[in-house]
Structure 1
Amino acid sequence: MAPNIAHDLPIPLPRNQATVMILSAPAYAWVFHAQNTSKSDHILSEDNLKTILYDTHVTLGGRMVPFGGWDMPVQYPSGILAEVAAIRTATGIFDVSHMGRLYISGPKATEFLDWVLTGSAASLRMGRARYCLICNEKGGVIDDTIFYRLAEDRFLLIPNAGNRPAVVAWFQKWIDERFSPGCTMEDVTETTGLIAFQGPGVVDAIDKIADTPLSEMRPFFWTESAIQGAPMFVGRTGYTGEDGFEMLLQGDDVVKVWTILADSGAVPCGLGARDVLRLEAGLPLHGHEIDEETTPIEAGLERFVRFDKEYVGSEILKDQQENGVQRKLIGFTLSGRSAPRAGYNLLDQGETVGTVTSGSYSPTLDTSIGMGYVLERYVAPGATLDLDIRGRTAQVTVTELPFYKRPRRT
C-alpha cells in the first residue's frame, strides 16, 4: 500500500473552493472537497482553530488538514476505505466540532428565524429539528443548516464551519435592523464539542452506552441525556446517509465520550470519509453544490423552502419555483475509478452544457460518482453526457439522487 499523501490539486477551482486529493492505494484517488478555504488556509497554522479533540486526533495518527479555519483530521491510519466501510456496515465517529453552535433566544427569536430561514420556525415543535437554507436577498445560499427548537423562545442552530462568521454577521445585521430588542444570539462553538456517532450499528449500541434509552428517538428529534455521567444534548441527525446521533458536549466531556464510543467499537473517521459518504447520499456541500450565487431551486432543494410566507429571498425563490430555472443540479455515474473533479466540464456533442461540483470514487457502489449543474434540458435520468478530463472525454450517465439509500431496518 502506498503512503498516505495529501496535497493541493494543480487544477483551476471555482470561486472559493479548494480540493485535496488523498492517495491511499495505487488503485484509488480520493478527492476531498474543502469549502471556504483561502490561499492562507492551505497549511496548518497556529491561527487555525483547534477542536477539543485535536490532541486525540494527533495521538490516533490522524492526518491533519486545514478546513474552514480549523485544523481537522482528513483520515486516520486505517484509511478512507475502512472508514467508509465502518459507517456503511457498523459504527463510526466523527469530530464535527468545527460546525457552529448558535443559540437564538428571546420573544422575537421565532419571528427572526422565520425571516432569515427558508424553513418555518413557527411550525417547528419543541423537541424537533429541521433542515433548511439561509439565503441572501437574491435567493443565493449563504449556508445550509439544521436548527432545533429548545423552548418556545429558544433555538439551537448549526452553521457550517467556514460559513459561521458570515452567518453570524448576517444574523446580527437583521437582529439589529428588525428584531432588537427581543432577539439575541450566543455563539458557543469554541467552548463546546460536537460528535457524530453514525452507522447502522448505532441503534443497538446507543442504549448500551447512554445513561437513558435513545434508540426509540425518531429522526430529527432531540433530547437531553448523558454517557457515563457526561451530560449531552443529542439529536438523531447526521450527514452520512446512515442512521446516527449527534452529541453536543462541554469541555472535558467531549474527550470522555469520544473515548467511550471508540472503546465500544466505533471507528474514528475523518473528513475524507465524510465527504465520500455525503456524496454517495447525494447531500450538498456549501461551496460546491450550493453557494451565494446558487439558489435552493437550482440545487433541487425546493422541498426545504416555504412559498407561503415572506422572508429574505422569498420573492425570487417563488418566481423560480413557478417559472423554472436555466440550470439544475444532477447526479451522474462514470465507469471505473477515475474521480470526477470540481470544475470539470460536462459536454454534449462537444458543447459545454454543465460543470462538475463534486466527484469521487464510491467504494460502496464500486463506481465513480459526481454531482454538477447542467442546462435544464439535460437533467433526465438515463441521459448521457461527456466529461472533459483534461482534454480526454469519458461518458457519464445522469442518475437520480441519492446514489445510495440505506437499507430499511428490519
Structure 2
Amino acid sequence: MTPLHGLLDTEAIRKDFPILDRMVHDGKKIVYLDNAATSQKPRQVLDALNAYYEQHNANVHRGVHVLAEEATALYEGARDKVAAFINAPSRDEVIFTKNASESLNLVANMLGWADEPYRVDRETEIVITEMEHHSNIVPWQLLSQRTGAKLKWFGLTDDGRLDLSNIDQVITEKTKIVSFTLVSNIMGTINPVDAIVRRAQDVGALVLIDASQAAPHMPLDVQALGADFVAFTGHKMCGPTGIGVLWGRQELLEDLPPFLGGGEMIETVSMHSSTYAPAPHKFEAGTPPIAQAVGLGAAVDYLTAIGMDKIEAHEHAITEYAVKRLLEVPDLRIIGPTTAEDRGAAISFVLGDIHPHDVGQVLDEQGIAVRVGHHCARPVCLRYGIPATTRASFYLYSTPAEVDALVEGLEHVRNFFG
C-alpha cells in the first residue's frame, strides 16, 4: 500500500483508548467503525469523570462549601474550554444541554414562543434540507404544526449534494429560520455554508447549523460560520454521553424566551411572576449535567492538544483511501459523494441486493463494528430508493489497516451470501 500523507501517530493515540484493545467473538480484535454514532473515550476523559465523582461531586452554583465551589469551578471551566474550542466571542454564549437534539429543540421552541421580530407563525416559513438527521426535521415539523408556518426544504442531487439551484425560491422574505447540517451524518457531505448563510442574511432569516458531525472532525469557528446558532454533542467528540452544546449570538439569547423553567434559570420568583437570569443560565434550568460537562472539557483538552487541523487532515486521508477501496468492491454502491472532496468521514453504502442488516451482522462476526439502518435520516434513503444502508465512519484513531479489514470483511459477506 502506498503510504498515506497526513496521518496521525495512531499507534500512540490508540493507547489512550482502552476499548480499542477489546477482543470480541472468540479473540477477534475489535475494528470500531461506528464513530458517527458515538466515539470512543480516551483515558484522559475517563480519569476526569472518575476524579470528579471521587473528589469534587456536589451541586453547582448553590453552595458555599468546598465541594460546591470546586464543582462550580470545574463546570464553568468546561464552559470556558468549549467557548475557546469554537472561538465563541463570549463564554456566556455557550449553553449546555443534554445533546444536540435538545439544542435544536431549544431553538425551535424559543422561536415558537418569541415576540417579534423572531416569532415563527402562520405568515412565516421554516427551511431545512432533505439530508437532515431526524433531530433537525421533527422539531421543525412540530413547530410548523403548532404555529401554521410553512416548512420547506432543499432537495438532493444524485451525487449526494444539496441542490441549491432554487435557493432564491426556497429562502424568501418570509423565511424566519434556516436550519441545516454542516456535515451529513449519513452521506458525509460537507455543505456550502457560505452560500446558504449569505442568502439567509439577505432576507433577514436566522441560521442554525447542526455541527454534530463537524465539531469532532474539523476546526469549528462559530464566528467564521456566520450563523446565529450552532449545535453539537459531546459523545461524538471523545466526551461522555448526556452533554450537548448550543452556541447562540449574545443579543439573540438576551431577547429570546427560555424554553424550560426551574431552578437556576431565574432571577426573582413570586407567586405572580418571575424574571430570568442572564444567558447562559437562563437556558439551563435545574441541576445541569455537571460531570458530563467536566468530561466534555477534558475531551476538548484532548482534541486541542492533538490539533483539530491535524485530525481533519488524518480523516481526509483515511476517507480518501476508504472511498477508493470501497469502490473496488464488486456490486457496492456508495450513497453520497464518491470522492473525498467536500466530504467527511462517514461513508454509507449498499452491497448488491444484500440487506444492510445482514451485512452488518456478518461484519460483526468478524469483529468489525459498523452501523446499519437509515441512521435517523430516512428521507435520504427514500430519496435514493433504498431501505437502509451500511455505514462505516472513521475518527482520529482509525487506520488504513481497519479500512482494509472492512474491505476484506465485505468480500466475506459477498461470499457468504453467494
TM-score computed with the length of structure 2 as normaliser: 0.30
Q: Which has the higher strand share?
A: 1
TM-score computed with the length of structure 1 as normaliser: 0.31
